[in-house]
Each structure stands twice: as C-alpha cells, then as structure tokens.
Amino acid sequence: MNAHGLPGTAGTDGPLITDGIPGTNGPLLTDRLPGTDGRAGVGQELAGRLALVTGAGRGIGEAVVAALVERGARVLATDLDPGGIDALAAKYGDSGETGTKGRAEQEKYGDQVTVRSLDVTDAAAVEALIAEAEDTLGPLDIAVNVAGILRCSDVVDLTDEDWAAVFAVNTTGVFHVSRSAARRMADRGRGSIVTVASNAAGIPRAGMSAYAASKAAAVMFTKCLGLEVGSRGVRCNTVCPGSTRTEMQRAMWAAAGLPDEEGARRVIEGDPATHRTGIPLGRIADPADVADAVAFLVSDRARHITLHDLYVDGGATLRA
C-alpha cells in the first residue's frame, strides 16, 4: 500500500478528488487507493489478504464474504448450518467437503473462497481450522465474527438452556475465534479483527435480554483484546447493526404474526409501549450496509482505528 500522506506527498499516486464540501471553495482530497478505479471503497484494496468469516452462510455473513472478495481478499467462509454451507458452495464452487460445484459467481470469485463447516462453540475445532488454514491457505490477516443466534423471551420466562446457548455462540464463540486469530496475528505484527455485534449491545431491548447481554459482552471483549494486542499491530473493532433484512429479523416479525413489510413499518416508526425508538433514516438496513462497514474497518483506510464501535442502525439508538 502507498503511504498515506498529504496530497502530492512522495510515495502516493496523487489525491483522489471527490465532490467539494458545501461552503468551501475546494475539493475534498483523500489518498488514492492502489488498485482502484478512483472510487474509494472499491477495487482490490484487500488483494492478497486472507480473511476468516464465521456465520457466512446467510444474511450479514454472506454479505461480508461478498464484500471482501469483491475487494480482492481470499476468504475462508464458515458456517454450522448445512443449508448455509450448501448455499456458499453453490455460489462460490467446490467446498472441499460437499463436492458441490457452484454456478453464479464461481467463474469470477470461485478461486477466492474456501468453504468449511465450523462450530464456533468448539474451541478445539476453531483452533484446528485456523491452524489448517494457515498451513494450506497462508497467514490469516482478517477475522470477522458474524456467527450468532437469537432467543427472545422476557427474563422471567427465559430458560437456562436458552441463556447458555446464546452466550455460547454470541460471546464464547467470539472469544474462541478471536483468541486463535489474535495469537497468530500478534506474532506477525499485523491483523484486523471485527466482531459484528448489535445495537442491542448499547440500548435495552424488551424480550431480548440474553441476546443484548451476549452482544454487549462481545463488544467489551473485543475492546479488551484490542487494548492488549494494539501495540503488536492488531486492530480490533466492532460493527453494531440495527434491524437488518435477514432471516433472523424476518423470523422475529413472523413470530409476532407480522408480514415483512408491516414488521418493517413498525420498526421504522418505533414502539412506545416497549420503549423502542424508531429509525431516523426511515429504512431497514440491507446486509450489504453492514458488510461495507466491515470491509472499511479491515482495510488500510481504517489503519488508525481500533477499539471502535461502528453503529450501522440508521440512527435507531440515537447513540444513547
């Protein structure tokens, strides 16, 4: 990567000129990203890097894989759900497990994606897969924790089993993956870890105590890790989505007896009865909105950002 510096500084290809800022008489100048066509955030800015993405089979995880490969990264895409594994294999090609050959994007990205099954609650399995990946694919540069589950219940009705299951995936799973990745990244003096949490980590949600608590724990864990490994060149950040058009969100609407569009309308408007604010931007996020935030944080454009929560919720939490 070229050195980041002032426009015209030696070692850069010159500034990227974008629309001027209203009220100024000059353009906004930023560093040009090598391998791009002049548009920040696109091109091959992650070329040559290896990324691990958990929960990659559907929704936000699937979108993260797409965002990273579009930017040139090679991706080890993992999921536990057989349906998610099959979907990834069909999209990108031979998984090495199912033998399924892909169609849609195999020709363009098939050689960039390796698909594997992974249970993030199994520490030994996580360690074994990352060790195998480093032996066969190369050094791990990026780890993105997306795997997560949701169990909704008022606290007085919440079972021990549901509480434990949510924390096992959403918090302990993040610990397992991040620990194995950070050990190797810190030894090499470089790397980026991103945990996809939730805006529920930052604002109370009725009926979501286990989920919110598990995500809040994952956020603080990621920050603590970042504090420990920052001096060794590893950045650790979190992305906190709000309501996003995923199967998890649709399942919540279905459980309430709401069709998708009615569920979306109610979320956007807010619900005073449950003390829930609406969404100031007036729309439900798409998975790609979250994936683009992840792609930014793992790139060199975010090279001086660590221990940061990036909320992608349309302003829903009002950053309370």
Residue 64 has pLDDT above 80, yes or no: yes
103-158 confidence digits (pLDDT tens): 446 656 778 999 999 999 999 999 999 999 999 999 999 999 999 999 999 999 99
Average pLDDT over residues 170-193: 99
281-317: per-residue pLDDT in tens? 999 999 999 999 999 999 999 999 999 999 999 999 9
Q: What are phi and psi of 215, to 5 degrees?
A: -75, -40
Highest mean pLDDT, choosing among 31-40, 42-51, 210-219, 252-261: 210-219
pLDDT at 42: 57
pTM: 0.83
Does residue 102 surpass a pLDDT of 60? no
Contacts of 229 (CB under 8 A, 6+ apart): 182, 185, 186, 236
d(CA 164, CA 27): 53
The rounded distance, in Å, linking the Cα atoms of 43 and 73 is 11
**b (16+ CB within 10 A) / e for 13-33:** eebbeeeeeeeeeeeeeebbb
The residues annotated as belonging to the active site are 211
For 157-219, give the secondary structure using H, E and C: HCCHHHHHHHHHHHHHHHHHHHHHHHHHHHHHCCEEEEEECCHHHCCCCCCEHHHHHHHHHHH
Ranges of each domain in the chain: 50-244+285-312
Both tokens assigned to 109? 């990205």
Give the domain 50-244+285-312 fold: Rossmann fold (3.40.50)
- Give the tens place of pLDDT for each residue, 7-34: 333 333 333 333 333 333 333 333 333 3
Closest CA to 32 of 73, 10, 4: 4
